[in-house]
Amino acid sequence: MYFGACYYAEHWPEERWERDAELMREAGFNLVRLTEFAWNRIERTEGNFTFDWLDRCMDTFASRGIRVILGTPTASPPKWIMDRHPEMYKRDMYGHVRGFGTRMHYCFNSEAYPGYVRKIVGAMTERYKDHPHVVGWQIDNEFGCVDTTWCYCDTCKVAFQQWLKEKYATIDALNESWGTIVWNNMYNSFEEIETPKLTVYQLHNPSYQLDFRRFSSDAVCRFQDIQIDVIRSAAPHQTITHNMMGTFNEIDYYKLAQPLDVAGLDVYPNFPDNEPINPYTPALHHDMTRGFKQANYWILEHQSGTPGAHILKATPKPGELRRWTYQSIARGADALLYFRWRTAVVGAEQHWHGILQHSGVPGRKYEEVRHVGAELNKLFPYLEGSTVRHNAAIVRCFENDWVFDIQPHNPGYKYLRGVKKYHRYFFEKHTGVDVISPEADFSGYRLLILPHLALVDESLANKIYRYVEAGGTVVMDFRAGAKLPDNRMRSEVLPGPFKELLGIEIDDYGIIAEGEEQKLRFEGDAVADYGARVWYDVIQPRGASETIAEFASDYFAGAPAVTRNSHGRGQAYYIGTELGAAALTRLLDLICEETGALPEWSVDHPEVEVSVRRRGDRSVYFVINHSTETVEVVPPAGGRHLLEDRQLEQVETLKPNDVLIYSV
């Protein structure tokens, strides 16, 4: 296992390297990440490579037992390339050039850029393919971060046309698939098709938009493959990864991760997206990343200080770095690199803080990290070779995520809102859940949750049927089966291909406006104490389908809101609305009890996390107090406290930010 930080040697005087390397050694580090933004330092002018400085830097770390992962510096092509090829700049949907000055300014479909990429990646690989202290390579940096995937330039237009030719073969097939008869949008040739730039109503055909997202995602995967091929041809023994972004959805990360040796993640717990700081969102990032290859993963950037560029976010309080570190390891991280080692004094990220402040003087964060390093030295023998696997899984589908981005149904609604609600249930129940691809093997799970599976093809539908027939339990919810793979609406009664599986038909549906809710009661309840939000389906049971809960207000009062149907040896549940937290907990409690997808033991506090890593017959449990309260827990008898090398007490006390790690 690896533990360390991201280090920007090119930012600091060479005489500082020795001091930093020594401090890292004292903190227990064994890995640093270098060079992912160092192109000009390596190749200031074309073909003139300078590696002596990097050799000296790596030797400085190697003398302290610290190994290196090298970043390919392709996220920020230098100005001398961009001036030579101004067509390489991305263009936005308004046709504006997205110019030089930050990073990710290049077009993934550029015809000129791959030649420069192969040269610098090839030169770096040739130099370091046999270096004993190089662990491997990080490709580029944060593909799909903050609107960096989509480009609307003429190069992309031609590439998109070619992608469509390969998919549809004839223009008539494309017109039929997209339904271009609407609004007189038919095409006579592929060459007439543009990228989806701004239009009058700010609307585009949803099939067209989905294909553009697929094309754009594929373009990033192809760009990554260029670099993987260069590295593998020279250094097949070195590990290749990329730092993905967990819940981000511009790229199909399952496809991006497939050719990598290990998936990578950048995680910033104090920098959540439009929501309060919480332990659930970073937990979801971890679980999603573990699901990209259904294997343990590396964290290439882990928050170590105050995040921010032109503004600052919340500063980590004492104990939080340790708590976040153990959450990461508990959920499957086999490498963890803090971002960053020292806070930059120049550039756009002067306020994105690291372990050391601008002064470079060790402070409280360094002492906390050094304490963690000493603890991890005790834990590594117990964790090496261990994995994370659960009885339940949530199927996260990127194409359905895109479908809801294109057509949110209810204003502002996001596909991931549903995913997060299901995931949070398992967190608060102190058990785990895997987050997996629709292409994954379902057979090892007792319970599958398939949020908003609107777009579905025959192959996946049949796979779900086989899983239930063999004894599995599925939970599906509103819009399931509503769309064909080309993002056309199905012209059959909903839930389309799942009518037999779910034992229902949907006669009508509509939105529940933001801020409003409909009443809901479970079967046997005298009072409707629960709320339903976002959406309602007017469900008609068919066959042996049972009603678990029903609506209790509006014109659809009395209609089922939640149903259960037996199919083969398994069960299929359908939720025709967004359940409030209390209703969802009641339902999933019922389902998890039926399926056995329950925790081995529980804690009486929703913000205390329980995670487990297993290797053979040994299990290592992490009990993490994310709350601001002191919590008493009663762990199973017979466990051994790994950090204090003692038998567990009958009752263990966890202060805020505290962690209990034990093995059985």
**Size of the chain, expressed as the number of residues it contains:** 664
- Calculate Rg over the CA atoms of the chain: 26
DSSP string, 85-106: -GGGBEE-TTS-EE-SSSS--B
Torsional class of 400: left (φ above 0), alpha (ψ -120 to 50), beta (otherwise): alpha
Would the annotation count 342 as a binding residue?
no
Strands (E) in 369-482, as ranges, are: 392-395, 434-436, 447-450, 473-477
Taking the C-alpha atoms of residue 379 and residue 72, their distance in angstroms, rounded to an integer, is: 32
The neighbour count for residue 271, using CB atoms within 10 Å, is: 16
Cα Dmax for the chain: 79
Instruction: Kindly report whether the peptide bond that precedes residue 606 is cis, defined as omega within 30 degrees of 0.
Output: no
Only one residue has tokens 């227990």, namely 28
Would the annotation count 592 as a binding residue?
no
Beta carbons of 596 and 393 less than 8 angstroms apart = no
Would the annotation count 6 as a binding residue?
no
Torsional class of 192: left (φ above 0), alpha (ψ -120 to 50), beta (otherwise): alpha
Would the annotation count 151 as a binding residue?
yes
142 in active site: yes
Name every residue whose Cβ is closer than 8 Å to that of residue 337 and which is 6 or more positions away in sequence.
2, 4, 5, 6, 31, 32, 33, 69, 298, 299, 300, 301, 302
User: CA angle 545-547-552, nearest 5°?
Assistant: 145
Beta carbons of 202 and 173 less than 8 angstroms apart = no
Taking the C-alpha atoms of residue 575 and residue 478, their distance in angstroms, rounded to an integer, is: 6
439 in active site: no
Taking the C-alpha atoms of residue 503 and residue 180, their distance in angstroms, rounded to an integer, is: 34
Kindly name the residue from 36, 43, 142, 349 that is annotated as catalytic.
142
Beta carbons of 356 and 342 less than 8 angstroms apart = yes
For 133, phi and psi rounded to 5 degrees? -105, 5
Beta carbons of 369 and 36 less than 8 angstroms apart = no
Instruction: Tell me the three state secondary structure of residue 570.
Output: strand
User: CA angle 233-237-243, nearest 5°?
Assistant: 85
Torsional class of 101: left (φ above 0), alpha (ψ -120 to 50), beta (otherwise): left
Taking the C-alpha atoms of residue 392 and residue 537, their distance in angstroms, rounded to an integer, is: 26
Kindly name the residue from 36, 43, 250, 301 that is annotated as catalytic.
301
Residues at the binding site for substrate are 103, 141
Residues at the binding site for Zn(2+) are 107, 151, 153, 156
- Which residues are catalytic, by number? 142, 301
